[in-house]
Amino acid sequence: MGRVPADRAEAVFEDFKAAYSLQQAIAESERCLYCYDAPCIQACPTTIDIPTFIRKIATGNVKGSAKTIFDSNILGMSCARVCPVEVLCVGDCVYNREDSPPIQIGKLQRFATDAAFEAGWRFYEAGADTGKKVACIGGGPASLAAAHRLRMYGHSVTIFEKRDVLGGLNTTGVAPYKMRADRSEDEVDWVLGIGGIEVRLGVSVPGDVSWAELESEFDAIFLGFGLGPDKFVGGEEGLSNVHGAVDFIEQFKLGAVDLSDVKRALVLGGGNTAIDAVRELRGLGVSDVRMVYRGSEAAMAGYQHEWKAAKVEGVRGVWHTSPVSYEVDEGRATGVRCVLTDESKKKVPGSEHVIDADLVLVAIGQAKIGELVAGLDGVQVEWGCVVTDASGATGRKGVYCGGDCRNGGKEVVNAAAEGRDSAEAIHAYLMGGQ
Ligand SMILES: Cc1cc2nc3c(=O)[nH]c(=O)nc-3n(C[C@H](O)[C@H](O)[C@H](O)COP(=O)(O)OP(=O)(O)OC[C@H]3O[C@@H](n4cnc5c(N)ncnc54)[C@H](O)[C@@H]3O)c2cc1C
Ligand code: SF4
């Protein structure tokens, strides 16, 4: 697949969590108790057999360890880096109930999956050709996981991706101190390495190819088109220094950004994208970075462990403050007009004030784009998300869905699980002819 350019702004970021050496990995894996009920497995949306892959590292079987991971989650390499393990597997490790640090499952998973990538171990081959064709819409984690599993069963798969890169937000969105875009591309190559997955880049569905055309060419469709563009406060149009946070992150992950005249930056929002954005601006050299949130520090939606790291890096929070409009001079925002909010996030009358800024990133969520399926009768959309049953089946025969466009925006590991499980359901449908 096409590679992202080498001179990307994100290249300045170092790994936030350093990789384990062999000795460190063995020492950590030997601490695992191989619990009979292994709560860590239940906490993983892809239910990787965590104690088994850890045991294999301890016994020196790193190749077997990697296979155990990939059997459940073909995106195990990126998940090892980007998963919020603190609230998933590591957060549920039994050691948390004692006075001992939990097993560093993410770092061990990274050790095994990196070893597989570096050594070029390949574990999977395409199944015997079934003669069935499946279209995957979107080239992010959900579609990649679905496409790989479908190829294992021998179905022919075509991915339609509107951008000119694959990997979805794993390539264009996740913080570079967790994983850079080129590492996500390595994973895309690893997934496509099974062979026989056709990729059509720069093709938007249903804009460039209609649903009717897809249904006449393919036996089943997997919808994995994620979420839409950033939402805005209002009044940003034409302001050259106000950007949607996800859009801005994509710009510096895939190319260059000029922040030479930015001393004070504001990020509006209190979720994980807002926290990523403030840490990224600090890492890109902006000296005064503040996150403006309408609730309290304790009430923000972003993970507390990420916010703690942001504070250590010098970011400040502006709490109980809600943006109202922009102060503008010659097409640029010079500041954000805000009001204070009370404990229930209601605006406090007479509390208007301006916070000066050279750059503003708006991180108040992404639009949901379930309306894309309007031409597919029977596919239900609620609150902008595609409605499915537990298997991923929509209300239309042969149409399945997974990832952010179904769950409203969770994590890469949820998209990987829903893509994989939808592929299982599609296989049953295609072979059972239901
Ligand atoms: C800034 C940011 C940081 C994040 N950080 C993390 C993190 O650290 N850890 C974590 O686990 N999760 C993180 N997430 C969430 C995670 O990235 C998503 O949950 C995951 O990528 C969802 O996968 P997906 O395949 O459903 O959607 P996406 O990754 O969004 O992929 C969807 C793909 O579909 C394409 N597409 C859209 N519309 C069309 C169309 N009409 N036709 C064809 N193609 C289309 C898009 O271009 C995109 O490539 C982050 C999200 C954001 C926004
Ligand atoms: S809960 Fe912790 S100690 Fe128990 S199996 Fe999982 S990682 Fe090992």
Q: Give the pLDDT means over successive 10-residue stretches in the chain (434 positions).
A: 84 92 97 97 98 98 98 98 96 94 98 97 96 98 98 98 97 97 96 97 97 98 98 94 98 95 97 98 97 96 96 97 96 97 93 97 97 95 97 98 98 98 98 73
What is the predicted pLDDT for the residue at 433? 57
What is the predicted pLDDT for the residue at 232? 96
- Parts of the chain belonging to CATH 1.10.1060.10: 9-119
- How many A from CA of 365 to the centre of ligand 1? 13
Segments of 60-127 assigned E as strands: none
The third-level CATH classification (topology) of the domain covering 133-162+202-228+368-432 is FAD/NAD(P)-binding domain (3.50.50)
The answer to whether the beta carbons of residues 230 and 224 sit under 8 Å apart is no
- Parts of the chain belonging to CATH 3.50.50.60: 133-162+202-228+368-432, 242-362
Domain 242-362 has CATH 2.40.50.100: no
Q: Tell me if 163 CB under 6 Å of ligand 1.
A: yes
Burial readout 319-333 (b: 16 or more C-beta within 10 A, e: otherwise): bbbbbeebeeeeebb
What does residue 361 show for φ and ψ, rounded to 5 degrees? -110, 130
- How many A from CA of 108 to the centre of ligand 2? 12
Question: Superfamily for 9-119?
Answer: Alpha-helical ferredoxin (1.10.1060.10)
Q: Tell me if 57 CB under 6 Å of ligand 2.
A: no
Task: Pick from 30, 32, 52 the residue to mutate for probing ligand 2's pocket: most ligand atoms within 8 Å of its CB.
Answer: 32
Q: Tell me if 315 CB under 6 Å of ligand 1.
A: no
> Crossing angle for the helix pair 105-119 and 62-72, nearest 10 degrees?
100
